Structures are given as structure tokens and as C-alpha cells.
Chain A
């Protein structure tokens, strides 16, 4: 048995005790505030050793080296990068002296001090190198374990685990994430997801440390313990810190801390220590209670775990069926492929959102467009999708380089699609899966797909053997028993179902199928897919790469799951049916409404009121072809419609979005009528308005909406755009013989330009009314600058303009008092 196995074997027999805080105790020995304790490994080693001896005497089985900040960037802050090797090696030697032969020495690695791409600043490869460099020195110095602690972010933890894996050989690795009082990491990862990712990346012991006291850490430990079979470690702070007179105080006493030690033990922890503010006294109390005690039995629900950054999905017997959305795939989709080829991810993102909203549990991501840089595009796609959906991703490519780029940019535990029993593929893919801690879909085929189930099982067993050789855990392999095209290979299709049964019964691995192939070439493919899926679920299928958009397929799946032990109490089925019924009712109501007999003119009126922009043009053209007069449509149908909507808005039954949609609807209808109205000479304008966003300001969407509304109500509007100097505004007003100048400003730094215009109008005795509006403008301001009118928002701009052309002021009354 190697040294690694000895440590883990010892841990399986009894609880081991870590040490406690170093920094506070060094401060008591003169470490200046803000000074890196790591530097004392060279400058004052005796102080470090004295603290560590105290912990050994208190009962620590494992000492963490004083190297939390002894990595490249952290040491560079003290111009000490050149001493990285000496500092780390000295730290190990000190701990070895302090601990003697009975105490294990763990090389301690803290955060890099920066953030890691794709979400953070430094490239993943640089982060990986930072951790690998420090780990190499600690390993060379002879540590018994490596410890990564206080990691806020899963991507940085991934770089650290991979860097350590590169150099540690069989040395055990303990990995701690740090969780806030909410029980999540800073970037939203929960303990269940952290456990899956850390275990997948080869950690031997996982845990939580720092950030919170024992009270908040206890539920985190409990969740970790249920999410993995690995030993669980815990290092709480001595409560939440408080700043008092420039000093950070951790308020819990050793006795108060020690009360939690048995609770952590009962929750499943078998490695107990302390972080900031903890002392040898606490370690002594914890050791007295727990040292050597056999770890509590833990329950762990088996299955293949895949995760996003924040969410875990478990695939396997007894778990809900996993729908893996198949639609992010450029095959046979010209526009989709073009967008990807151009490096644009907008269609990929839109499809990801659509699949998520349709109920997919994971997303297959394929960006394989010929003659493109697929690795680069895969990295881009994985990053873009992660931003908008929180689902585990299935990285799908025939190229190893593309798979790797996907894995590098993915902080969660991905599912790789795919491997098969061919030697070449095994040699390419398994090392990648192992290195990046992923799970993998394994096709039960070599170069040909066997017809018989027995032959497919033989391939599966071969893959499992190779997995063992490469150190990939069996539970990280999901078998694809291969859905054959039933019209071409009917017997083979039936054997697919038999293969699923055998895998479920004898191998225990989860299974997944690419569903859509089975019905290729036959009519009514949906019917075949539904039935095949139901039969496969009955045989034990756990997941499928399929379309999440087909309602009937999801219905079939939901019902089949009832008979496959995947829906206790039929709860999910009932909830799903509730949604289905509700959608049916809405659709029936909409259909009934659409079928109600109405004239075309009535439909036009309703379209405007309802803001139905898609129907208006067709309806107006239809009305014209039925003989409706254009002027009648404008004056007697659309204008009353928009006014009615305005009344509903005033009564707070409709709101600004209704006005905006209605205005746009009317605009589209009026656009068809305008040439006819102009030709007939029937158009009468209420007045002419010149509108502008003032100089220095570039906000103008509200103004643009107002312009539409004013046009709809019969005003002639000249919109000068934004950042318009006052001279240009006055010139345009003169040119167009405007009655009103409408001004918009959204910044306190630009609104005074409104006064410039108002002053010019007054001083030059110009005949224009000045109407002002915008987020920063108030009735008081409008009155102060001498404006004639104020419009609060798009809801009252028409009323304000109408008042001004009628010779009244508008909106200034509320400025009084």
C-alpha cells in the first residue's frame, strides 16, 4: 500500500485533526499587519515552528504549511517571487521539525489573488501554471498531502486541482471551497455542485473552510457529505469577524467553537480543523472529543453527476429522466451554421435559452461547421451559453482539440460527447476526461455498430476496462446503446432496448440515446420517437439527446417515467399536467376569440387597442380591398382606438407598454394609408413639432416613441435626433414653421440646454411653444426655465402637445407650490 493509500486508509478508520489559524498567532509574535506570513518562513522560521508545535501538542494530526500566499502573484506583491522555491521548501521543513514523525505535513495552497477566465482576468493556462508551480515545490520538499483551500470560484479551483494533479503522483489531495452565509460560493456554486466537480477532478478529501463560523458551515458540511462518498473536511472561522479599533476580531471562544465539533462529526466530517481566529485551545478540545473516532456512516445516492457552475443534474436509476437538448447543432441549418462560422454566438445563445425554457435538463453543444476553427468556436460557445443558462453542458465534437477548448472554458463538470470502443478514440478521449474531471458518453460500438445486444455489451465492458486503466470512475461513463434507424435495422432497434436492460441490470451504468435517428425515413416520425422513447424508458433508459420542443414527446416521457421509478408520488407528472391544462385553456380561449365574428374594421380597432402589430397591415389592406375609405379608417377607426387606449391608460387599466405597442401598431397601419390620404388631400395636421434631444445628450428612445404617438394623432413631426445644438433646433423650427419645439434630456448635466432654447425663444420673440420632457425634468424645472409645457412620459405627450396648440399651458400646474 502506498503512502497515499495509508493516509486514506487511516482516515477511513478514524477522524483526523487539522490545525488552526496561523496569522493571528503570528501577529501575537510580532507579524506586522498586512505583512505576508509566508515571508517569515525565511525571516523568522522559529516563530512559525513555535505555533505549529503548539498545534501538535494540542492534538493536530496534520499540519498545514505556512504557504497560503506563497504562489507567484501573491509573492510578487512583496517582490518575493524569486524566493518562491525557498519559501515553500522552508515551510515544509519547519512543519516537519514541528511535527516530528507522527504528524503529517500538508502543503497548503491558497487562491492565486486574481480571477480566472472566461469569467475573470487571467487565462486558465496561467492560473494552472501558478498552482502547478507552487505544488511542484511543495511535493519536491516532501509533503505528505496537498491542500487547496479558501477557493471562492470553481474555475480557479479547477485550475488548482489540475495543477496539483500534474505533479502530485499518489500524494493525497484535500480541496476546500469557501462558502458565504448563504451556503453558496461567491460565484453561486452550491455544496452539491462543488462536491461533484471536486470529486470529478480527483480530490481525495473535500471540504469547506473560512468565510463563516461553524453555525453557517454546518449545513454546508451536511450537504457535502450527502453529495459524495469522499471524506469531508471542515475548517470554520471562530465566528463572523468584526473590525474593532483597526483590529479584526473573531469573537467565538474555543469552548464555543468546540461545541460544534461533534455536530460536524455527526454531519459527516472526518477531518476537523479551524481557520481564522481559531487557536490551539480549540484544536485541543476538538481533538479530545473526536480524534480517532470512526467516521459516521453516510448515505450517498449513486448516479452520474454532471454540473453547470451552479447546478447539478444526476443521471441514473431512480433519478428524473434527463432531457439533453439537441438543437445547438449547425447540421442542416444554413443560417445557424453561417452565424457560427462568422464567430457570432447570438443564434447559439437564443437556441440555448429556448431549449432551457422548453424544459431541457442539459444542453448538447455542437458547433461543427466545416472549414472553421472549431476549437476556438467551441470555447466561445461554451462561454456564451454559460452566461445565459444555468444547465450542465454536453460538449459534442469529433475533434479532441474542440473538446478540450470546451472543457477549459467550463467550470462545471461537463459531459463529453463522445467516446467509443475504438483504440484511437480511447487513447484520445479518456486522458481528456480524466484530466478535466468530466463524465463521458460512451458508444457501445467500435468502427461498426453491432446488431446484437451481446456484442454491444462486449464493447461496453471493453470501455469500462480502459476506463479503469485511465483512472476514470465507472460512474462517469454513460453508455449509449445506439439507436438504429428502425426502417433499416428493425432487429437491431429491438436489440437496443435489450442492451439498455442488460446495462441497467448488470453493469449499473447510466444510459443515454440520441433519439431522433430511430425514425429516419418513415412517416409520422413523432409517433415512432414517442413510442420508442417510452419503451426505452421502460427498459431503463436514463437520458436522451432529443428535441425539447415536442410537447407530445415530453408528455410520453412524463407518463413513462411513472412506471420507471423516476417520479415518486407522481408529483412531477401532476405538476406537468397542470401546466399543460393551463396552456390548453389559454389556447382554447384565444381560438374562441379569434373565431368570434367581427368586421374587418372592428378587427382593426381591436388590433390598435391590443397592440397587435403583426396583424394590422394585413387587416388595413383587407379593409381597403373591401371598400373602406382610407380617411374613414384613420379618423373613425384608428384614431378613436388610440384615444380609447389613452383613456384606459388614464384609468390605469393599461400601461405604457400598451401605449407603445399600440402606437407602433397604428404607425404601421397609417403607413399604408398615408400615400392614399396625401393623394386625396384629406390630411389635416394639428400642428408641426420639431423634436430634439439637447446638445450633449444621447438618450432619445422615449422621444422617438413620443414622435410616433404625435404623428398618430395628426401632428407633423420633424425629429432632429440627439445631441442637437440649440441653433440647429431654432433653425429647423423656422424652416418647418413649427408650432412647438419638443426637447428631451436625461442628464442633469444636459438639461440646462433646455433653458438655452427657452431663453432664445423668449429673447428673440419667436412664435414657438417649448415643451420639455425626460427623466430628470420636473414641472418645477420646466416652469423655472420658462417652458410652456411639460410632458411626464410617453403617456401624456400627446395631451400636452394638443393643449399647447389650443393655446393652453401643459403640465406646469403641478410646479406651483
Chain B
């Protein structure tokens, strides 16, 4: 018999996420088309700067994540209510996303604070290095979210559900102001994640999101 770790409000914490920084993806984030490897760049100075940023990122990134799955108890015209909150999923987009779902997994993930500290440190004197490192960090925040997404998807599939798309605060009409409540519901403190008064995640290179567990039609 299978056990779904995150059901019933169990917090699942992943303290260390193994990762690989794909050069092709970094080049895309830098909006350089077609190339797969940094060494394909004709301009050695640019290639060196990007490679240095990637090498530095390996020593600065420490991926962590946590997620929790809540049962959906009611779907109304303007909101979806869970066993823990009737304010977290507010708005037409959330209703559309979760209307056919029995459960919703809230997740939070971060690459940790060290990379952005390095960016801040480098900004004034080595601005280009800071820029490239910042871009790598931004991509890797999404990467960590993808890793956790895959694990949540396993839980969803094993339980006989289909998953919805991954949806983050700030998308559509899911207002960014839900961030604080979301972080509380997912006990994001356990991975050192919080937000400012203006709802900026700290560390900045972090992602919060929801994935719904949809019933088969």
C-alpha cells in the first residue's frame, strides 16, 4: 500500500537538492539563441565570464524545499477553500485552476541566500560578474522548483490524480499579497524562507507555488 508523504498536512522537507547547471539553459536565460555550450561563444571574454558565474554558482547554491498537501473542502464562485484556509486561493484564476481538484499541494523552494549575498558583494566593483551570477541564480530558482514539482507529481500520480499546472502568487489574479499566508501554510521558515513587507521572497531566488490534484474526468 502506498503512502503519500505530504497528505494530511504533513510537511515534507528537502534540505538539500542535488543540481546540475545546464549551460544551454543559462544561455537561453541570457537570451543567447541556438548555442548549447558556453565554449561555443566566439567571444572568449564573454564565455569566460559566463563560465565563471556558473562555476561560482555551484559553490553558492544550496537548494532546499518544503511542501504540504491540503484537502479542498469547497469551491465557490470567487474562491477555493481548503481544510486550513479560505483565503489562500482567492480569485477567478484559482477557482479555474482548482475547481476539479480534491487536494492542493503548496510548495516553497529556494537556492539559499549565499548566491545573492555574493551578487550584492560584487555589484559595485564587478558588476558584470554580479549580473551573470544573478541570471544563473534566477534560472536555478526555477530549476529547484522543477525538481520539487517532479516529486509532487509522483505523489499526485500515485494517488490516481492528474496534476494541474504549477501556479505561483502574482500570476493572473492570484494576488502577490497571499505570499505571507502561503509561506505560513507551508512552514517555509523550516527552509529559511520569508518575505518582505512588499512580498519579496527572502532569499530572493525562491519560488512558491500550488499544484492541484485533479480528479479524472
* A and B pair up: yes
Contact of A611 among B31, B39, B43 (CB under 8 A): B43
B101 to chain A, nearest CB (A): 10
Q: Is the CB of A661 within 8 A of B198?
A: no
A371-405, CB < 8 A from B: 383, 386-388, 390
Q: Which residues of chain A come closer than 8 Å to B33, judged between CB atoms?
A: 655
What separation, in Å, do the CA atoms of A240 and B197 have in the docked complex? 45
Q: Is the CB of B18 within 8 A of A387?
A: yes
Q: Which residues of chain A come closer than 8 Å to B126, judged between CB atoms?
A: 664
Q: Is the CB of B198 within 8 A of A750?
A: yes
Q: A685-709 vs B: 1/0 string, CB under 8 Å?
A: 0000000000011111110110110
Q: Which residues of chain B come closer than 8 Å to A748, judged between CB atoms?
A: 170, 176
Q: Is the CB of B196 within 8 A of A655?
A: no
Q: Is the CB of A240 within 8 A of B157?
A: yes
**Number of B residues whose C-beta is below 8 Å from A?**
64
Any chain A CB within 8 A of the CB of B131?
yes
Q: Is the CB of B59 within 8 A of A346?
A: yes
Q: Which residues of chain B come closer than 8 Å to A210, judged between CB atoms?
A: 2, 158
**A611 with B17: in contact, given A113-B3, A150-B3, A241-B158 (CB under 8 Å)?**
no
What separation, in Å, do the CA atoms of A657 and B135 have in the docked complex? 10
Q: B1-39 vs A: 1/0 string, CB under 8 Å?
A: 111010010101111111110000000001111000001
The interface stretch among B44-52, B74-82, B91-99 is B44-52
What separation, in Å, do the CA atoms of A22 and B1 have in the docked complex? 8
Q: Is the CB of B16 within 8 A of A658?
A: no
What separation, in Å, do the CA atoms of A21 and B127 have in the docked complex? 61
Q: Is the CB of B154 within 8 A of A180?
A: yes
The interface stretch among A114-122, A164-172, A675-683 is A114-122
Residue of B nearest to A209 (CB): B2
Any chain B CB within 8 A of the CB of A796?
no
Q: Is the CB of A658 within 8 A of B43?
A: yes
Contact of A186 among B60, B62, B151, B170 (CB under 8 A): B151
Q: Is the CB of A655 within 8 A of B204?
A: no
Q: Is the CB of B16 within 8 A of A186?
A: no
Q: Is the CB of A113 within 8 A of B49?
A: no
Q: Is the CB of B43 within 8 A of A705?
A: no
Any chain B CB within 8 A of the CB of A541?
no
Q: Which residues of chain A come closer than 8 Å to B13, judged between CB atoms?
A: 115, 120-121
B124 to chain A, nearest CB (A): 8
Any chain B CB within 8 A of the CB of A68?
yes
A558 to chain B, nearest CB (A): 21
Q: Which residues of chain B come closer than 8 Å to A386, judged between CB atoms?
A: 18
Q: Is the CB of B216 within 8 A of A242?
A: yes
Q: Which residues of chain B come closer than 8 Å to A696, judged between CB atoms?
A: 196-198, 200
Contact of B134 among A119, A240, A701 (CB under 8 A): A701
What separation, in Å, do the CA atoms of A110 and B159 have in the docked complex? 17
Q: Is the CB of A661 within 8 A of B46?
A: yes
**A243 with B176: in contact, given A350-B58, A655-B31 (CB under 8 Å)?**
no
Any chain B CB within 8 A of the CB of A811?
no
Any chain A CB within 8 A of the CB of B143?
no
**A119 with B15: in contact, given A346-B60, A696-B196 (CB under 8 Å)?**
yes
Q: Which residues of chain A come closer than 8 Å to B157, judged between CB atoms?
A: 180-181, 240
What separation, in Å, do the CA atoms of A152 and B157 have in the docked complex? 14
Q: Is the CB of A118 within 8 A of B132?
A: no
A183 to chain B, nearest CB (A): 13
Q: Is the CB of B45 within 8 A of A353?
A: no
Q: Is the CB of A657 within 8 A of B49?
A: yes
Could you say which of B46, B55, B134, B157 has the most chain A C-beta atoms within 10 Å of its C-beta?
Answer: B46
Any chain B CB within 8 A of the CB of A806?
no
Q: Which residues of chain B come closer than 8 Å to A511, judged between CB atoms?
A: none
What separation, in Å, do the CA atoms of A22 and B2 have in the docked complex? 11
A747 to chain B, nearest CB (A): 6
Any chain A CB within 8 A of the CB of B188?
no
Q: Is the CB of A661 within 8 A of B43?
A: yes
Q: Which residues of chain B come closer than 8 Å to A309, judged between CB atoms?
A: 18
What separation, in Å, do the CA atoms of A22 and B43 have in the docked complex? 64
Q: Is the CB of B215 within 8 A of A243?
A: yes
Any chain B CB within 8 A of the CB of A266?
no
What separation, in Å, do the CA atoms of A728 and B6 have in the docked complex? 48
Q: Is the CB of A119 within 8 A of B60?
A: no
Q: Which residues of chain A come closer than 8 Å to B3, judged between CB atoms?
A: 69, 74, 110-111, 113, 150
What separation, in Å, do the CA atoms of A665 and B216 have in the docked complex? 57
Any chain A CB within 8 A of the CB of B192?
no
What separation, in Å, do the CA atoms of A699 and B138 have in the docked complex? 12
What separation, in Å, do the CA atoms of A715 and B157 have in the docked complex? 57
Q: Which residues of chain B come closer than 8 Å to A77, judged between CB atoms?
A: 8
Any chain A CB within 8 A of the CB of B130?
yes
Contact of B160 among A22, A242, A704 (CB under 8 A): A242
Q: Which residues of chain A come closer than 8 Å to B16, judged between CB atoms?
A: 118-119, 383, 387
Q: Which residues of chain B come closer than 8 Å to A347, judged between CB atoms?
A: 59
Q: Is the CB of A23 within 8 A of B1?
A: yes
Any chain B CB within 8 A of the CB of A90?
no
Any chain A CB within 8 A of the CB of B63?
yes
Could you say which of B63, B128, B159 has the most chain A C-beta atoms within 10 Å of its C-beta?
Answer: B128
Q: Is the CB of A747 within 8 A of B49?
A: no
Q: Is the CB of A705 within 8 A of B159?
A: no
Q: Is the CB of A701 within 8 A of B123?
A: yes
Q: Is the CB of A705 within 8 A of B177?
A: no
Q: Is the CB of A701 within 8 A of B46?
A: no
Any chain B CB within 8 A of the CB of A37?
yes
Q: Which residues of chain A come closer than 8 Å to B204, judged between CB atoms?
A: 698-699
Q: Which residues of chain A come closer than 8 Å to B31, judged between CB atoms?
A: 655-656
Contact of B130 among A34, A152, A346, A704 (CB under 8 A): A704
What separation, in Å, do the CA atoms of A15 and B176 have in the docked complex? 59
**A350 with B1: in contact, given A387-B63, A655-B30 (CB under 8 Å)?**
no
Q: Which residues of chain B come closer than 8 Å to A186, judged between CB atoms?
A: 150-151, 154
B197 to chain A, nearest CB (A): 7
**A701 with B5: in contact, given A121-B15, A349-B59, A661-B43 (CB under 8 Å)?**
no
B127-174, CB < 8 A from A: 127-132, 134, 150-151, 154, 157-161, 170
A-B contact pairs, 18 of them (CB 8 A): A121-B15, A241-B160, A243-B161, A309-B18, A346-B59, A387-B16, A387-B63, A388-B18, A610-B44, A612-B43, A655-B30, A657-B30, A657-B32, A657-B46, A660-B131, A697-B198, A708-B128, A749-B177
Q: A248-B160, A350-B59, A387-B62 are in contact. List 16 more A-B contacts (CB 8 A).
A: A74-B3, A117-B15, A150-B3, A180-B154, A346-B60, A610-B45, A611-B46, A613-B45, A655-B32, A658-B46, A697-B198, A698-B196, A698-B200, A701-B134, A705-B127, A707-B127
**Interfacial residues, chain B to chain A (CB-CB below 8 A):** 1-3, 5, 8, 10, 12-20, 30-33, 39, 43-46, 48-50, 55, 58-60, 62-63, 102, 119, 123-124, 126-132, 134, 150-151, 154, 157-161, 170, 176-177, 196-200, 204, 215-216
Per CB-CB distance, the 8 closest pairs between chain A and chain B, nearest first, are A241-B160, A664-B128, A612-B45, A346-B59, A696-B198, A611-B45, A243-B160, A121-B13
